[in-house]
A and B are shown apart, each in its own frame.
Chain A
Amino acid sequence: MNTHKLTKVAINDPVWVRYGLIAVSLATIGLFLLLPLVTIFIEAFAKGWQKYATELSDPNALAAIRLTLLVAFICVPLTTVFGVASAWAIARFEFRGKSLLTTLIDLPFSVSPVTAGLIFVLLFGAQGWFGEWLQDHNIKIIFATTGIVLATLFITCPFVARELIPLMQEMGSEEEEAALSLGANGWTMFWRVTLPNIKWGLLYGVVLCNARAMGEFGAVSVVSGHIQGLTNTLPLHVENTYNEYNAVGAFAAASLLTVLAVVTLVLKSFLEWKQQRT
């Protein structure tokens, strides 16, 4: 009844309101989203294909790509396991501190990434709490890949969990109990009943998590030390090259991240569509 009324009112809005609103949103998207996106590619190819290819095959750029892939390769599976485990715990069990855990999972979303990076510097840096001990044992975390992985893990850990918790809560545990009553053990139940039911939501979380793991700048910037060819990820490489007045290099690297973003968006809409259908 209510929705019916609402649509009617919306339809009866004067023409100028309707087209006005559409024009405003289109203009905003065009100006702030599409234009910069196009600019990235224009700048990247400003001096031709040749230059673009050279910039990307530069050893430092290649090292940055490799490091970014490595970090994502480590972080995404860990985040996925953490996400499934914590979503399972929250959706299926009653325990003390459950609401605290639910809140804590969201913490990385509310903390500024720079602060997150700083935490790791304060913990593991040369002057940090564990700094001396780490130095004695010759372990390097800050200004090394380990630190970058840790910072990225911190930033990305909510992605899969947040996707799965509401999904699993809504699903309930009856199908899982049914599997157990039919003689399945925990593993079989998970692989044959739980996973098929959450797979699209899980993939969705993984895709978002991957995009963030590859694109994270703030936290990684603090812990990485910007050592060219060693601790630069792609986003850091973009900043470095740009600061060196190498616009084509910066935009070439940025174009890779942009392609990643577009692929993520397409995958995301596909998965959303899939999820709604099941």
Chain B
Amino acid sequence: MSIILNNISKRFGNFAALNNINLEIPEGELVALLGPSGCGKTTLLRIIAGLERPDSGQVLLKGEDKTHKDIRERGIGFVFQHYALFRHMTVFENIAFGLRVKPRKQRPNETEIKKKVHALLELVQLDWLHDRYPDQLSGGQRQRIALARALAVEPEVLLLDEPFGALDASVRKDLRQWLRHLHENLNVTSIFVTHDQEEAMEVASRVVVFNHGNLEQQGSPSEIYDNPVNEFVSRFIGDTNVITLEKHHTDWLQLSGLVIVPEAANSVHIRPHDLEITKSSSDSAATATLKDWQHLGALIRIELAKQGANGSPETLYAEMPNEQFKRLQLSKGDKVECRIRHAHWFDAA
């Protein structure tokens, strides 16, 4: 089911949660709504679900205006941040709930319910837990049961609020992969909310970035990473070195091989992996000092100090593959030359 949002705005008292959001989500996509906490992403998810009403704007599902329709009439499945499993029901009854509350005419009989619930439990690989209660499950198990419960009513859209937020790091990694594969198999339009950019980039086929109730940018993960449209997106997605265009900086940037576009912007962002370093042959050519480095698995993160305004040192970060760093044979305090491979220019501070 495709989703179209037209000019959605929502205020809570004096707080503008969402400002004129326009968004189109084609059928079958796996979309991440990404942003820092309080940016309005959860509110938007709840508006799509019908748990919240927008102050203005329209929600179109499959081309139909459902702005004023109840959550029950929208054909969506919602997975809550804290799973919201019914604590007084077994896992089986939790999943069966959506089938049991159907109007009498559409309600499947007990055998069909049993078959369907067990099929869903097998889908989430937890059939052996069917007679447990929610408080006897681990976080990851609850998450998958919540998902199975939402899928029981065969929703056309699956909405997930911070699906991995309350889980351990290792469980989270597994579940991300699992959700991706599940989406590939079911191919149901899915939207999830997250504040974790890594999670959004890894799982989603399309990422929508929010800040302060505004939609900042949308696109595929690589589009957003490679071409951030503004300073906020650039800072929020991945690591970056931010350098303001003042005199002492522009000199350094030019020395490092960057062509300054005059008047075009007032700051430049350089991703750590776009900053190349080489051992300096002479002190005069050096532009930075090697301060320290950390191992990030296959990559090395290098901490550099460069001369800032009135002589105070400023820290920059560079990243390069482990092997390459070893070949440079650098040690702490060595003078290095920097070369900027690629940079982004931005206007606002």
Q: Which residue of B lies closest to A189 (CB)?
A: B101
Q: Provide the bound-state CA to CA distance between A179 and B78, in Å.
A: 10
Chain A nearest CB: distance from B51 CB in Å?
6
B76 at interface, CB cutoff 8 A: yes
Q: Which residue of A lies closest to B102 (CB)?
A: A183
Chain A nearest CB: distance from B70 CB in Å?
8
Q: Provide the bound-state CA to CA distance between A192 and B152, in Å.
A: 18
Chain A nearest CB: distance from B127 CB in Å?
20
B82 at interface, CB cutoff 8 A: yes
Whether B51 contacts A197 by the Cβ 8 Å rule is no
Whether A178 contacts B88 by the Cβ 8 Å rule is no
Whether A180 contacts B71 by the Cβ 8 Å rule is yes
Q: Provide the bound-state CA to CA distance between A179 and B82, in Å.
A: 14
Whether A192 contacts B97 by the Cβ 8 Å rule is yes
Whether A182 contacts B152 by the Cβ 8 Å rule is yes
Whether A192 contacts B101 by the Cβ 8 Å rule is yes
Q: Which residues of A contact B150 (CB under 8 A)?
A: 181-182
Most chain A CB inside 10 Å of its own CB: which residue of B77, B80, B85: B80
Contact residues of B between 134 and 155, Cβ < 8 Å to A: 149-150, 152-153
A174-B97 contact in complex given A185-B72, A197-B88, C-beta closer than 8 Å: no
B98 at interface, CB cutoff 8 A: yes
B86 at interface, CB cutoff 8 A: yes
Q: Which residues of B contact A192 (CB under 8 A)?
A: 86, 97, 101
What is the size, in residues, of chain A's interface with B at 8 Å between Cβ atoms? 17
Whether A181 contacts B76 by the Cβ 8 Å rule is yes
Whether B76 contacts A184 by the Cβ 8 Å rule is no
A188 at interface, CB cutoff 8 A: yes
A178-B72 contact in complex given A184-B97, A184-B101, A192-B97, C-beta closer than 8 Å: no
By size class, the interface of chain B is: 20 to 34
Binary per-residue interface labels of chain A (182-200) against chain B in the complex, 1 for a CB within 8 Å, 0 otherwise: 1111001000110011000
Q: Which residues of A contact B51 (CB under 8 A)?
A: 177, 180-181
Binary per-residue interface labels of chain B (90-125) against chain A in the complex, 1 for a CB within 8 Å, 0 otherwise: 000000011001100000000000000000000000
B84 at interface, CB cutoff 8 A: yes
Whether B97 contacts A179 by the Cβ 8 Å rule is yes
Q: Which residue of A lies closest to B149 (CB)?
A: A182
B49 at interface, CB cutoff 8 A: yes
A174-B72 contact in complex given A181-B49, A181-B77, A183-B153, C-beta closer than 8 Å: no
A175-B84 contact in complex given A182-B98, A183-B153, A188-B101, C-beta closer than 8 Å: yes
Whether B80 contacts A174 by the Cβ 8 Å rule is yes
Q: Which residues of A contact B76 (CB under 8 A)?
A: 181
B69 at interface, CB cutoff 8 A: no
B87 at interface, CB cutoff 8 A: yes
Whether B101 contacts A174 by the Cβ 8 Å rule is no
Chain A nearest CB: distance from B162 CB in Å?
12
Q: Provide the bound-state CA to CA distance between A181 and B72, in Å.
A: 6
Q: Which residue of A lies closest to B152 (CB)?
A: A182
Q: Provide the bound-state CA to CA distance between A132 and B87, in Å.
A: 56
Whether A182 contacts B84 by the Cβ 8 Å rule is no
Q: Provide the bound-state CA to CA distance between A214 and B77, in Å.
A: 49
Q: Which residues of B contact A185 (CB under 8 A)?
A: 72, 101
Q: Which residues of B contact A180 (CB under 8 A)?
A: 51, 70-72
Choose from B71, B82, B88, B102 the contact partner of A181 (Cβ within 8 Å): B71
Binary per-residue interface labels of chain B (165-177) against chain A in the complex, 1 for a CB within 8 Å, 0 otherwise: 0000000000000
Most chain B CB inside 10 Å of its own CB: which residue of A181, A185, A188, A193: A181
Chain B nearest CB: distance from A189 CB in Å?
9
Whether A182 contacts B101 by the Cβ 8 Å rule is yes
Contact residues of A between 139 and 196, Cβ < 8 Å to B: 174-175, 177-185, 188, 192-193, 196
Across chains A and B, which 7 residue pairs bring their CB atoms closest together, nearest first? A182-B98, A174-B84, A178-B84, A181-B78, A184-B101, A196-B88, A175-B84
Could you jot down 12 A-B contacts, CB within 8 Å? A180-B51, A180-B71, A180-B72, A182-B97, A182-B149, A182-B150, A183-B101, A183-B102, A183-B153, A188-B101, A196-B86, A197-B88
A-B contacts besides A182-B98, A196-B86, 9 pairs, CB < 8 Å: A174-B84, A175-B87, A177-B71, A178-B149, A179-B101, A182-B101, A183-B102, A192-B101, A197-B88
